[in-house]
C-alpha cells in the first residue's frame, strides 16, 4: 500500500535561508524507498512552537490529512529545540514505543540516539514521528522503524487488528 506522507523540517537556519535543508529531502527519499510513501508536502519552519503546530494541524486534519508526518530537527537539548514540545499537546494517542524501538535499534550506530527527545503518536488519524535533525540520523531512525510502520499506519487508518502472529514465527 502507498502511504501519503508529509515532511516538516524544523530549523531556524533553514527557515531563514541561511542553510540548505538536507534532512527533509533525505527523509523523503528514504520514505519512498522503505515505506512506498508518496510525499504530498514538504516544508521548512523555524523551531517555533506555533509554526510547527500550524503545519502539524494542517497536515493531519480534514480530507487532505496525510497518513504520516515525519518531522526532522528540534529534538535535541539545545534551548531552541522545540519540536517535541510543539508535538506533544497535539497528540491524542501516544506511541512512545516507536521512539524507544528506534533508539534501541540505532544504539549500535551511536549512543547519541538516546539524547533525542522525539515524540510519536497520532494527531487525529495521522501518525507523527519526531526524528533527529541530521540527514544521517533522520534516515537511520526511519529505517530502524520501517518494518513496523506499515502495520502502525494501517491500524491508525482503521484496519482490522492483526496482532502480528506472523512476526513470531
Could you tell me the domains of the chain? Answer: 3-159 (3.40.980.10)
**Cβ pair 18, 52 in contact under 8 A:** no
* Radius of gyration of the CA atoms of the chain, in A: 15
Cell 499506519 locates to 153
Q: What is the side-by-side order of every strand in the sheet holding 93-94?
A: 37-45, 3-10, 68-72, 126-131, 120-123, 93-94
Nearest alpha-carbon partner for 141 in 129, 152, 154, 153: 129
Check residue 160 and give its pLDDT.
Answer: 77
Q: Mean of the pLDDT values across residues 3-30?
A: 97
pLDDT band at 169 (very low <50, low <70, confident <90, very high): very low
Q: Which three cell numbers stand for residue 149?
A: 510502520
Model pLDDT for residues 82-125, shown as the tens digit of each residue: 999 999 999 999 999 999 999 999 999 999 999 999 999 999 99
The predicted model scores a pTM of 0.94
Amino acid at each position: 500500500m502507498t502511504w501519503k506522507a508529509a515532511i516538516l523540517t524544523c530549523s531556524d537556519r533553514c527557515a531563514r535561508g541561511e542553510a540548505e535543508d538536507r534532512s527533509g529531502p533525505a527523509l523523503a527519499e528514504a520514505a519512498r524507498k522503505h515505506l512506498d510513501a508518496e510525499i504530498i508536502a514538504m516544508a521548512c519552519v523555524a523551531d517555533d512552537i506555533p509554526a510547527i503546530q500550524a503545519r502539524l494541524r494542517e497536515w493531519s486534519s480534514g480530507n487532505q490529512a496525510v497518513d504520516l508526518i515525519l518531522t526532522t530537527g528540534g529534538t535535541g537539548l539545545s534551548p531552541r529545540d522545540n519540536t517535541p514540545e510543539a508535538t506533544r499537546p497535539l497528540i491524542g494517542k501516544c506511541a512512545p514505543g516507536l521512539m524507544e524501538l528506534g533508539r534501541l535499534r540505532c544504539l549500535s550506530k551511536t549512543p547519541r540516539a538516546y539524547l533525542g527527545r522525539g515524540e510519536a503518536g497520532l494527531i487525529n488519524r495521522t501518525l507523527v514521528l519526531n526524528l533527529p535533525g541530521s540527514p544521517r540520523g533522520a534516515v537511520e531512525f526511519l529505517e530502524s522503524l520501517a518494518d513496523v510502520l506499515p502495520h502502525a499506519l494501517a491500524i491508525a487508518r482503521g484496519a482490522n487488528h492483526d496482532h502480528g502472529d506472523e512476526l513470531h514465527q
